Amino acid sequence: MSRMSLKRIGAWSVFKFSAVLYLIFFLIFFILFLVVYLIAMGSGAISSQGKETADILKVLGLSGGVTLVVFFFVGLFSSIVHATISAIGALIYNIIAWMTGGIEVKLEEKKEE
């Protein structure tokens, strides 16, 4: 069994990993939202002239296509913000690890069967 200590996490690598992870999550949710929206439109559950939807969109000055574009760019921006927050978390960990010595990790070799 070997003992190791996690003393530093690369903030740039955390940012890159988080950015890709959050972008993948966003794209999955965006595609799911789009599919559900198209199914609802096709089945007639949501009509393009629905009362509540039309009223909300008129107040905001948006149409259905513009709403999807806005949702897309808000999601992209949100992904970058969350990746930045993750990188800041890595920097905070580095400061705390510098003060306390890091996290001790015990590794054990796996026995082959």
Residue type for 77, please?
Answer: F
Please, are residues 97 and 18 in contact by the beta-carbon 8 Å criterion? no
Closest CA to 12 of 79, 68, 86: 86
What kind and span of H or E run contains 3? strand 2-6
Token pair in block for residue 32: 């799911």
| Chain segment 69-107, per-residue pLDDT in tens | 778 888 899 999 999 999 999 999 999 999 998 888 888
Looking at residue 91, its pLDDT comes to 95
pTM: predicted TM-score of the whole model, two decimal places: 0.69
Cα-Cα-Cα-Cα dihedral sign, residues 76, 82, 85, 89? negative
